[in-house]
Structure formats: structure tokens, C-alpha cells
Amino acid sequence: MLKKIYNKISIYKRKIKSEKKSYSFGGVDLIVNYFFKNKKKGFYLDVGSQHPIENNNTYLLYKKGWNGLNIDLDKKNIELFNVARKKDLNVQAAIASKFEKRDFFFYHQGSPINTIVKDNADIQKATVNEIRKINTVTLNSVLENHNINTIDYLNIDVEGGELEVMKGFNLQKYNPKLISVEFLDLKMKSFEFKNNSIENIFNSAIYKHMINNNYFFVNWSHGDLIFVNNESRD
């Protein structure tokens, strides 16, 4: 009897200990949190942050005690960040490779597929509600305006404009230890992980950009590619 009770307690303790809470769509935050398991405080940069909690790759770090800069082109999303993420700096901006006026394909407030990339808007099944004009800025300019000098973790999810964001960002200067970036494979018939192709990733412009800038491809979850700075590898 005592042995049976002990075994039940042991199983219950293991169940509690092994439980992992994720807020990401595909569990990227668990990978990120593990990478930084020995770093209690740090700084993240989330470009295309969307919602402060749901499907968010940095909220787990925020709960851990980190803080950072969240950027989104949707005013409603930034308002939510200002409520839920008061320790963070939250900025409404459309990030691209240069300063210019662009079409903003607007579905609705808070939509995860709002975008300034026409190719991406064209493949969506949802109907664009409105095409607005919006001024874009570079990521470098936002960081300089807010005196950001150190970034531990960078996440980019801007519905097809990820390479543009990277082209307006000085990787050598900021040198994040870990980067996750969404890769939208437009060759897919539907955006499901069962349709993923490693060959398409290796041939993609975003992969080549990262490899050519001293980063190593280490993981892949749904549409999120994860790269580690080579200087952080053993």
C-alpha cells in the first residue's frame, strides 16, 4: 500500500516538474527559453510582435524577468502591449529596408496577416478590407531613436517582409545571440508544417543572408527558422 502511494506521489511530482507552458504558436519560446536557461535578465527585440501573449515568442521571457522592444504596424496591437507588457518599450512602426511610402494591406485590427508585402497578401484566402498608405522605417533607425545597443534575442515575423527587415538592420553591430525568423514558403499549396521543405529553406534568400552573416541554422518549428550566432556555439 505504501509503495503504491509513493509511486503515485512520484508520478504526480514528475508531472508537475515536467510540465512546460508555451505561448508560441509552435513552441519556439520553449527552445528560446532553454537556450537562455542560465540568463535571468536579458533584452529581446520582437519585430511584428502582434499580440502580447497569444502566439507570442517573447512572453515567456517577459514572465521570466526579461524586457525588450516590441514593434508592430497595428496600433491596436501596440495598445494591448502597453496594457499587458508595461516593462517593455512598445512601438508602432512598419519596418522595411528603407524609408518610403508603401501600401498597407489591412484585413482588420489585430489581424496576424496584416502586411506591407503584396505577394503575401495575394496568396491569402482572407479578403483585404482596405489598402492604406503607410510610411516605413528601418529597424536601425528605431533602435537608434530609442538608444538600444544590446540585443540578446531577435524575433522577426512580418508576413513576408523578413528579409527586408534584415536588410535595414546592422547584424554586425547588434550581434544577437539567437534569432528566430518566420519563413513563408510561397511554393506551398497551404501553410502547414506537413508541407515544409528543407530544400526550399536552404535555397531561400533569408537562409543565405543569415549564413553569410555569421549565423548557424539550428532549429525549425512550423514556419520559424532559428539561428544561433556562431560566436555563441561551443
In a domain, 192, yes or no: yes
* Largest interatomic CA distance in the chain: 74
**89-92 and 130-137 beta bridge pairing:** unpaired
The answer to whether the CB of 212 falls within 8 A of the CB of 230 is no
> Which three three-digit cell numbers place residue 130?
482596405
According to the model, what pLDDT value does residue 11 have?
A: 63
According to the model, what pLDDT value does residue 33 have?
A: 97
In a domain, 140, yes or no: no
Sign of CA dihedral 33, 34, 36, 39: positive
> What residue ranges of the chain have pLDDT lower than 70?
1-3, 5-19
pLDDT in tens, 54-76: 999 999 999 999 999 999 999 99
According to the model, what pLDDT value does residue 18 have?
A: 64
Name 58's Cβ contacts closer than 8 Å, sequence gap at least 6. Answer: 29, 32, 44, 46, 49, 66, 68, 70, 153, 155
In a domain, 159, yes or no: yes
In a domain, 13, yes or no: no
57 half-sphere exposure, CB direction, 13 A CA radius: 28
What's the number of domains the chain is made of? 1
In a domain, 158, yes or no: yes
In a domain, 214, yes or no: yes
Enclosing H/E stretch for 45: strand 43-47
In a domain, 190, yes or no: yes
Residue-range definition of the domain harbouring residue 62: 23-91+146-232
In a domain, 49, yes or no: yes
According to the model, what pLDDT value does residue 112 have?
A: 81
Name 218's Cβ contacts closer than 8 Å, sequence gap at least 6. Answer: 226, 227, 228
CATH code: domain of residue 40: 3.40.50.150
According to the model, what pLDDT value does residue 3 have?
A: 67
According to the model, what pLDDT value does residue 7 have?
A: 66
